[in-house]
């Protein structure tokens, strides 16, 4: 208590110090003297106890185990371990560091952890907001230490600037022997503050033989962590070296390159790759790998990217297009034995015009260069010259298989719809003749009669009647019955039953 000042002054500095069991305290507090009248008021000052006796440098090394990084990805919790190591050698004088226990906890040795807090806009270097940091769990493993009271706030001008945790020995002195370590665990660290460093302050107080002091350790806030694996935005230990939470986005130009190895998406059935939103992607179902598109698929050879639909870009070629379950191939399709439909194949076709990739077999003349594939197959077998060639002409005709006889030449044409029979085409045949009766004149020599079959008399001049009997007259093929060649011979139908249809050839 300070009182009884008789002389006026604008400011005053009061320094009070004295020795006591645990060391010394020192207080410095500027006080502005009220104006007007004699100074006769009382002021109560809170004194902070500081141990200023003992060695200045405590033989402690303080640092993080493995990684000092925490993820600043909003919702991913991180954890850290702070390691305190007695750097004394066992052979040193007084090698141990003793943290004193006293029933009066205010006289016990203390380890105080302080973290800065604030909003990302106002204090971007802080570890997190007050709420985020308040949810961090800080503990010292084992049963030798206890937290002294609740988390305390540090305020400057009424604004909370930091939170601190104080630890004291549980119920006995804690000895940290030479070359031994102790750990402080920090868990549930969640932050969205900008990438960069935040400070962790570790104060040690009232350690016998050493002045009070402080260590400052940097905590790195970053979306990327390294230890035995590389993890981005997560600490899950999945298979592989790199684990990324919520996907990878690449700036332009951005490439993923790997000389060897494979891209592994795990064993969960789902759409693994969204090429352009979910409507265009690649995924896996039961025993099925699928490609998903909103419109159509296209396969290009070479070229460059173009935003235009079904455009292979400069220098590119469309190899295949799949649209509404229709497959368009810019090439020839083969199975294990060869082309599915070879060029030059001729098939009946019920349509009135040829479908795409086919031509009507109408004997048309084609340019060799424009139809090179078809020319290579049929050449000029069906007509044409060096620059042009003709299609097979099946108008009003049917095809016949090539052989080594009559049909030995490709392109040979023959046959007729109707036909007039010639005499040579007449086969041997017989006719029945009905004779109503007639007379045969027979010439005989005097005294001599010709032999005949039947009844009658022979004389020099006589008649012979057959009485409508069978004459047994036969006319052979060279006989005297003939038809007048000038008479009309009508052609007969030479067609098999037919159906008119087009023939088409694969071009």
Tell me the DSSP string of 4-48: ---S--SEEEEEEEEEETTEEEEEEEEEEPPSSS-----B--PPP
Instruction: Identify the pLDDT of residue 383.
Output: 94
Phi and psi of 285, rounded to 5°? Answer: -120, -175
DSSP run (H or E) holding 185? strand 181-189
- What is d(CA 439, CA 459) in angstroms, rounded to the nearest whole number? 16
Instruction: Identify the pLDDT of residue 36.
Output: 56
Ordered by where they begin, the domains of the chain are: 1-50 (no CATH), 60-230 (2.60.40), 296-331 (no CATH), 332-401+493-507 (3.90.1340.10)
Low-confidence stretches of the chain (pLDDT < 50) are 1-10, 23-25, 449, 452-460, 464, 466, 477-479
Instruction: Identify the pLDDT of residue 59.
Output: 97
> What HEC string does 446-479 produce?
CCCCCCCCCCCCCCCCCEEECCCCCCCCCCCCCC
Instruction: Identify the pLDDT of residue 7.
Output: 41
DSSP 426: P
- At 325-341, the pLDDT tens digits run 787 888 888 888 999 99
Instruction: Identify the pLDDT of residue 58.
Output: 96
Instruction: Identify the pLDDT of residue 33.
Output: 55
Residues in the chain: 507
- What is d(CA 503, CA 507) in angstroms, rounded to the nearest whole number? 13
The model's pTM: 0.47
């Amino acid at each position: 208590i300070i009182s009884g000042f008789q002389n006026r002054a604008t400011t005053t500095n009061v320094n009070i110090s004295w020795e006591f069991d645990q060391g010394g305290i020192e207080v410095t507090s500027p006080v502005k003297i009220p104006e007007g009248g004699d100074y006769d008021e009382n002021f109560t000052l809170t004194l902070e106890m500081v141990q200023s006796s003992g060695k200045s440098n405590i033989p402690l090394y303080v640092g993080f185990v493995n990684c000092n990084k925490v993820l600043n990805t909003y919702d991913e919790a991180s954890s850290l371990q702070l390691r305190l190591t007695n750097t004394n050698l066992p052979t040193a004088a007084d090698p141990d560091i003793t943290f004193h226990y006293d029933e009066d906890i205010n006289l016990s040795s203390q380890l105080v952890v302080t973290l800065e807090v604030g909003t990302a806009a106002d204090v971007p270097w802080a570890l997190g907001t007050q709420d985020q940091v308040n949810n961090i769990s800080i503990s010292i493993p084992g049963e030798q230490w206890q937290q002294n009271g609740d988390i305390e706030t540090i305020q400057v001008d009424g604004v909370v600037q930091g939170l601190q945790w104080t630890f004291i020995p549980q119920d006995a002195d804690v000895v940290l022997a030479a070359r031994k370590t102790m750990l402080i665990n920090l868990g549930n660290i969640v932050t969205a503050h900008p990438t960069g460093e935040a400070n962790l302050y570790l104060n040690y107080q009232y350690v016998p033989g050493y002045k009070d002091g402080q260590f400052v350790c940097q905590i790195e806030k970053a979306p990327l962590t390294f230890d035995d694996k590389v993890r981005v935005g997560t600490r899950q230990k999945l298979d592989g070296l790199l684990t990324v939470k919520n996907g990878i986005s690449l700036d332009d130009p951005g490439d993923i390159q790997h000389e060897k190895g494979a891209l592994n998406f795990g064993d969960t059935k789902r759409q693994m790759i969204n090429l352009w939103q979910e409507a265009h992607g690649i995924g896996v179902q039961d025993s099925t790998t699928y490609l998903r598109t909103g419109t159509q698929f296209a396969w290009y050879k070479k070229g460059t990217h173009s935003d235009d639909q079904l455009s292979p870009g400069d220098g590119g070629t469309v190899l295949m297009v799949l649209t509404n379950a229709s497959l368009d191939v810019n090439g020839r399709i083969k199975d294990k034995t060869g082309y599915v439909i070879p060029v030059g194949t001729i098939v009946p076709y019920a349509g009135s015009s040829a479908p795409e990739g086919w031509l009507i077999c109408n004997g048309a003349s084609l340019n060799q260069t424009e139809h090179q594939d078809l020319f290579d197959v049929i050449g000029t077998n069906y007509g044409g010259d060096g620059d042009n060639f003709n299609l097979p002409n099946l108008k009003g005709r049917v095809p016949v298989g090539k052989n080594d006889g009559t049909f030995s030449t490709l392109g040979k044409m023959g046959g007729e719809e109707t036909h007039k029979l010639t005499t040579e085409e007449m086969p041997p045949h017989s006719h029945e003749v009905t004779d109503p009766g007639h007379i045969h004149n027979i010439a005989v020599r005097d005294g001599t009669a010709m032999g005949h079959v039947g009844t009658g008399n022979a004389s020099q001049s006589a008649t012979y009647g057959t009485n409508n009997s069978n004459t047994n007259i036969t006319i052979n093929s060279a006989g005297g019955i003939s038809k007048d060649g000038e008479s009309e011979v009508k052609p007969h139908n030479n067609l098999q039953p037919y159906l008119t249809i087009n023939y088409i050839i694969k071009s």
